[in-house]
Amino acid sequence: MTTHSSTAEVSKEPERSEDRQGIDEIHILWISEGMSCDGDTVSLTAADQPSIEDLVLGLIPGLPKVNLVNKVLSPSLGGEDFLAPYRAAVRGELGPFILVIEGSIPNQNIIEGDGYWTSFGNDPETGEPQTLNWWIDQLAPKAWAVVAAGTCATFGGIHAMSGNPTGCMGLADYLGWDYTSQAGLPVVNVPGCPIQPENFMETLIWVLYHAAGSAPPPPLDHMLRPQWLFGKTVHEGCDRGSYYEQANFAKDYNSPKCLVKTGCWGPVVNCNVPKRGWMAGIGGCPNVGGICIGCTMPGFPDAFMPFMDEPPGSTLSSLAVKPYGAVISRLRGMTNELVNHEPKWRHNKRKLTSGYDPRWRP
């Protein structure tokens, strides 16, 4: 008896058409002209699992061919040469494309007169600067998917803090939280100030698998963040969390203990960095001595300032954990004492005291 299994069979195209509606080639049009420090692009180049060159060189199986257009990495000299694919996309002559926006979106409507907050190239007709808002208005309706890279683009971030002169906001605030792209996706938000490199690459790759027709849309939460990355709190992945459980808090930054009393917001912040590390498992925030300042959150930064004081809500919860934590800590201390000693039968006296019994049966 034979079967049909063979390598040729396995690699065959799916027979049902609904299984194969994939896109073979896709452009990534990345605009970093939002109000930002471009730290998300820089962070992206730190990703190694996978790396940006792996993606661009087609080393990840099952993805469409990717043409990345990003100002920082572009081999072009700049100007119109660099802008050519963006202009083609505006004319509807380049597609499909994923629009990546980096930086927060200023409010142009608060400006009286001719000014603007940020621009991306000049209008070829008039020579006048072309605003970021103009580009988003042109490209978002045509985009196959829209991805917001970093907390500035997702929720407004630093530039949207109180006292700012630009009226900045996140991309979903600008486009509307009910916006959907050509692929029927909402804005895909990858917060982080900046993005954790691998969080971003993984999300982008999920979107690309979806484009290839081999994955469902990425699962997003109510703030449009990937659930598997932002579904848990910092605290739940922090290797100082057990100090909290034992009500053992650092009094200043010289300590390996829980940093809640010195300003850490980890218990209430959605972020996986202590668990995942910053890059290749190295670094992080509270796990390596940095207070969590909530940089992945919609309320960042104002809701978390002043950063170096104990978060207001945590006074009560850290107080409540005190009696329980103190008891647990004491009991653990006793147990620890016990397991930190060698058993009594390890000695060099003349008598064997290990309990050895050659005929022992259960």
Partner 1 sequence: MTTTEARPTDRKPPQLVDMSWDPITRIIGNLGIYTKIDFANREVVECHSTSSLFRGYSVFMKGKDPRDAGFITSRICGICGDNHTTCSDYAQQMAYGVKPPPLAEHIVNLGEAAEYMFDHTIFQDNLVFVDFCEAMVKATNPGVLARAERTEAPRGEIHGYRTIADIMKAFNPFEGEVYKEALKVSRVTREMFCLMEGRHVHPSTLYPGGVGTMPQPTVFTDYLSRLMRVIDFVKKAVAMNDDVFDFFYEALPGYEEVGRRRTLLGCWGAFQDPKVVDYRYETMNTWGKAMYVTPGIIVDGELVTNNLVDINLGLRIMLGSSYYEDWVNEDPFVTHDPLGNPVDMRHPWNQTTVPVPQKRDFDDKYSWVMSPRWLDQRTGDHLALDTGGGPLARLWSTALSGLVDTPYIKATGHSVRISLPKGESLPETTLEWRIPQWSNTIERDRARPYFVAYAAAMALQFLEEAMGMVRAGETKVFENYEVPDEAIGCGFHEAVRGVLSHHLVIKDKKIANYHPYPPTPWNASPRDMYGTPGPYEDAVQGQPIFEENGPDDFKGVDIMRTVRSFDPCLPCGVHMYVGKGKTLTTLHSPTYGANHG
Which CB, 35 or 247, lies closer to partner 1?
A: 35
Which CB, 116 or 228, lies closer to partner 1?
A: 116
- Residue list for the binding site: 37, 152, 193, 235, 238, 258, 264, 292, 295
Which CB, 194 or 241, lies closer to partner 1?
A: 194
Name the residue among 154, 107, 156, 149 with its Cα closest to residue 131. Answer: 107
Say how far apart CA 37 and CA 33 lie, in whole Å.
9
DSSP 296: T
What DSSP line would sit under 318-361, residue for residue?
A: HHHHHHHHHHHHHHHHHHHHHHTS--TT-S-SSS--S---TT--
DSSP 64: P
The structure tokens listed for 255 are 């300590």
241 with 269: CB under 8 angstroms?
Answer: no
- Residue list for the binding site for [3Fe-4S] cluster: 292, 295
Which CB, 77 or 338, lies closer to partner 1?
A: 77
Instruction: Tell me how far, at minimum, the Cβ of 63 lies from partner 1, in Å.
Output: 16
Instruction: Tell me how far, at minimum, the Cβ of 146 lies from partner 1, in Å.
Output: 19
Largest separation between any pair of C-alpha atoms in the chain = 100
266 with 238: CB under 8 angstroms?
Answer: yes
Instruction: Tell me how far, at minimum, the Cβ of 259 lies from partner 1, in Å.
Output: 8
- Residue list for the binding site for [4Fe-4S] cluster: 37, 152, 193, 235, 238, 258, 264
Instruction: Tell me how far, at minimum, the Cβ of 248 lies from partner 1, in Å.
Output: 15
HSE (CB half, 13 Å, CA atoms) of 92?
2
Instruction: Tell me how far, at minimum, the Cβ of 346 lies from partner 1, in Å.
Output: 29
Which CB, 73 or 215, lies closer to partner 1?
A: 73
